[in-house]
Chains A and B, each alone.
Chain A
Amino acid sequence: MKPAPAAEKLFFGAALFSASISLFILLFMVVLGLPLFKDGFFLRLFTDPWRPDHGLYGISAMIAGTLGVSFLALVLALPLSLGCAILISIIRPPVFGRLLEKTVQFMTGIPTVVLGFVGVFLLVPFIREQFGHGSGRCLLTAALVLAVLIAPTMILFFCDSFSRIPASWLRAADALGCTPMEKFRHVILPNSLQGLAGGTILAMGRAVGDTMIALMLAGNAVAAPHALLDPARTLTAHIALVVAADFDSLEFKIIFACGLLLYAITLAMTLLIRGLDRGNGGRTW
């Protein structure tokens, strides 16, 4: 069926519009962040400390915070999500499996501020008392809650890639006498690696982009974290905190650098997913 010319134009317009918005945002950030690119100032963003009162505006601590929090969240969420996905779409315990699936679907819709809120009241005091030092707001706390945020996305993505394995391969494995574990390791897993990687990258993107949880739970100290219980400040939280400053200061301009960096990270991840999708073509194992 060929779409009517009018409909075609409409959809093309819509696609063009949304594509240009995302380009426009990039342009906007580049233009407003332009002063930062002068006189090698941009490089100093990565080497200087963050001391606005001394005219030093380095954001390396925030970059470390973002990477630290999101990697830790990913490390925590990945095995959990893989396990849940295996339970939901492969082992499939009759009642519990359905229940878990529904719960996970529901969890994708929880606003991050609610998760942050729960973290502040339940997890922060718990961490503080368990480890007996610090405020309880730290890398670990934020990463734990962030893991809860990204796990449902990963689980649903993983389940989807498991369920795309052709039933005929699974039947062949059954008929050959594979144990369920062998079937998983030799047939399901090797054929869903692309989906697993895609879900992981997507989740990483969410973790990098999230603001509320890091802002509420990571402690926001301007120093690169060195231990799980160190407080950290992410790029997103930094933007949120600096927005309070007045418009014309250089301090305010810095957030465009942060924004550009986030943009670059997300873009890199999207391209990575695209690359994986393309590699999907005439694959064998």
Chain B
Amino acid sequence: MFLSFISRQPVKNTTAKKPSPGTDPARPATAGEPLLEKSRLSCRHLDVFYGAKQALHDISIDFSGNQVTSLIGPSGCGKSTFLRCLNRMNETIDICRVSGEIKLDGEDINRPEVDVVLLRARVGMVFQKPNPFPKSIRENVAYGPRIHGLARHRDEIDMIVETSLTRAGLWDEVKDRLDEPGTGLSGGQQQRLCIARTIAVSPEVILMDEPCSALDPIATARIEDLIGELKENFTIIIVTHSMQQASRVSQRTAFFHLGHLVEVGSTEAVFTTPRHHLTEEYITGRFG
């Protein structure tokens, strides 16, 4: 804690206590196909506790690159908690303890020597409520590249700002007002600004926690289109409460229930032929 204030070295140790289960062929008790042959990001036997209360139970799942995976499930089932494991944001919550193994490109992100600052540059996050900094639009996007030393000169920064805003589908709307405050944009524009800010540091994975729930249908549609375009370059994991949204934007879907990963499969399979009765009850709207 103390040291991390001055240096970029991670100090907090949340290493897995269990022996490396990466090669363990035993299938987890999750229906469908949680594990993949080739994956970008893989979790094994993930347990999360808030104090004495267990929020996630033995989660094992793989995510493959360049596709969108949606996480669905009733409120309080642990979707956000799971998402926060993937960029170690749970460390900012004092009472939260994580154990298990999470590998990004084969490297365990919970090892003490992993630099959480670099990890968060590789795994970006977009929040439910748009949260631009109270700075100019340009500064919002330029800030990440600047602190991570991705660009030194003014024109390099300008370049990143333009490409990020373009990829986030916001450039045409803001190119003449880059020096105006980001907080002056509409909600949907702010959320796209936050997405631009996230992709400006060239992450490999983008985590989105209900990114559209504060937006109107038109702004939502724009973000959904954007997600479809972004998946060409990024691995995207999105939490959503809308099953229509999950089926529109994602190729794979994972269903959580009471801290357990109940079922994972192609979005089509999960929504048309669910294997677990809880999944079926949820998608047919019988609870949640």
Q: Which residues from chain A sit less than 8 Å from chain B, CB to CB?
A: 91-94, 166, 168-169, 171-182, 186-187, 191, 283-285
Contacts and interface: CB of A to CB of B under 8 A. Distances in A.
A179 B132 CA distance: 18
Given A91-B5, A177-B147, 16 more contacts: A93-B2, A172-B197, A174-B92, A175-B124, A175-B125, A176-B197, A176-B198, A177-B117, A177-B201, A178-B147, A181-B5, A181-B6, A182-B147, A284-B135, A284-B136, A285-B135
A182 B6 CA distance: 9
Given A168-B129, A284-B135, A285-B134, A177 B120 contact: yes
A177 B118 contact: yes
A169 B201 contact: no
Given A186-B143, A284-B181, A176 B5 contact: no
Contacts of A285: 134-135
A171 B194 CA distance: 12
Among B7, B121, B133, B183, residue most surrounded by chain A Cβ atoms (within 10 Å):
B133
Chain A at the B interface: SS class: helix
B127 A172 contact: yes
B131 A179 contact: no
Interface string B1-40: 1101111100000000000000000000000000000000
Contacts of A168: 127, 129, 131
Interface in B78-93: 87, 89, 92
A270 B181 CA distance: 31
Interface of B: 1-2, 4-8, 87, 89, 92, 94, 116-121, 124-125, 127, 129, 131-136, 143-144, 147-148, 181, 183, 194, 197-198, 201
Contacts of B5: 91, 179-181
B6 A175 contact: no
A94 B12 CA distance: 14
Contact of B183 (A178, A187, A284): A284
- In the A-B complex, the 3 residue pairs with the smallest Cβ-Cβ separation, listed nearest first, are A177-B120, A168-B131, A175-B125
A267 B135 CA distance: 34
A176 B150 CA distance: 13
Contact of A172 (B6, B7, B119, B131): B131
A165 to B, nearest CB: 10
A94 B124 CA distance: 28
Contacts of B133: 169, 172-173, 187
Contact of A171 (B1, B94, B127, B147): B127
Nearest to B132: A172
A283 B135 CA distance: 10
Contacts of A177: 116-121, 144, 147-148, 201
B194 A172 contact: yes
A113 B120 CA distance: 53
A94 to B, nearest CB: 8
A283 B6 CA distance: 29
